Structure 1
Amino acid sequence: MPNILLGDDDEELTQLLQEYLHNHGIECDCVHDGEAVIQKLKAASNNVSAYDLLVLDIMMPKIDGLSVLRQLPNISDIPVIMLTAKGEEIDRIIGLELGADDYITKPCNPRELLARINAVIKRTNAAASEHTPLPESRLHLDQNQRVCQIDGVALQVTGTEFDLLVALLKQKGEVVSKTWLSEHVLQRELQPFDRSLDVHVSRLRKKLQPFHDEPIKAVRGKGYQLVL
């Protein structure tokens, strides 16, 4: 049974979501400020029953969600789904740039949140168990340890970024459509105004650009091409 951590200062909402998720086979611990989120993750990092996923509200007391995301790389590599206020696109973009895997706007439909949770967990589990040989490249992706290196230099990437690199490397030199990447990496259909995939690719470009001027080429109207 998956075990997630939900950080949100709305206690009534978290109780409702906790009950709903439990009824659908997901255990859920709830905390109500960013400081408690960090404490829980630090404690879980030394425990065999660590969390599978973090659902994180942006607006929280003590430490806000974006500040939690900034600290997260030093604490845990847990995948993250953000909860953001409706219409606050800048928060979603910043959250994705800070390494969040996905987002959902509040007030959220519990059924949609469940679907997003299952999609991220499914992607993470599938990536952990799939070890298809990859083509030769300056990039070395250790699919067991989920470690990325380029020219022997370690590169810190998020779980979603690692999976994007695997998907692009498997089809190195070919243009991979945004629709395919969204369905196979983000585990959902591409929506007209959803910029999640573009933000993840933009982050990867910045990390790879010290090694290549244009490591991932955007082909207008078609998709992305890994050229390393």
Structure 2
Amino acid sequence: MRILIAEDDFASRKFLYKFLSSYGECDITIDGIEAVDAFMLALDEGKPYDLVCLDIMMPKLDGTKALKAIRDVEKQKGIKGDDRVKVVMTTALNDTTNVYTAFESGCEAYAAKPIDTEKFVDVLKRIGLIGGSEV
């Protein structure tokens, strides 16, 4: 599995990288612009990401806007339905407005920080990225 982590906080970035590396190859970006660029580059190289973890609050371009840009790129390239990248939004903000906006923008799941790894694994199973017997 190919994973893109977009996180501006060093500790959160390091934690997600360490945790998700056991599930696949991870790339890291530190803001939304880098995340969209990395996503497009991966598509152009024929090695699309299976999972993108986007922090909602990032400099330059926040996670919600980055998600909209990623979904626009997929639409332009004719990528639909189950072929679209799975997106999990992460944030320390756990209010209903952010949750609603994240799902309205096209994410598959929402994870509040600090990340609960057991719940995160359950999310990965639910969205079909891992089976029940993986790491």
**TM-score normalised per structure 2:** 0.79
Per the alignment, residue 80 of structure 1 pairs with: 87
2:121 to 108, 114, 117: 114
- Using the aligned pairs only, state the percent identity: 28
1:103 and 2:102 correspond: no
Which segments of 5 or more consecutive residues in structure 2 lack a partner in the other structure? 75-83
Q: Deviations over 1:116-140 (max 9, x none)?
A: 23432348x9xxxxxxxxxxxxxxx
Q: Deviations over 1:140-162 (max 9, x none)?
A: xxxxxxxxxxxxxxxxxxxxxxx
Per the alignment, residue 12 of structure 1 pairs with: 11
4+ long deviations beyond 3 Å: none
Matches within 5 A, 1:51-70: 51-70=49-68
Higher RCO (Cα < 8 Å, 6 or more apart):
2
Secondary structure in 2 aligned to 1:45? helix
Q: Highest Rg: 1 or 2?
A: 1
How far is 1:50 from its partner?
Answer: 1.3
Matches within 5 A, 1:21-170: 21-22=20-21, 24-76=22-74, 77-122=84-129
Which segments of 5 or more consecutive residues in structure 1 lack a partner in the other structure? 126-228
How far is 1:47 from its partner?
Answer: 1.9
How far is 1:85 from its partner?
Answer: 2.3
How far is 1:11 from its partner?
Answer: 1.7
Distance 1:119 1:86 in 2: 23
How many residues are aligned here?
122
**TM-score normalised per structure 1:** 0.49
How far is 1:86 from its partner?
Answer: 4.2
| Structure 1 residues 104 and 93: alpha-carbon distance in aligned structure 2, compared to 1, 3 A threshold | same
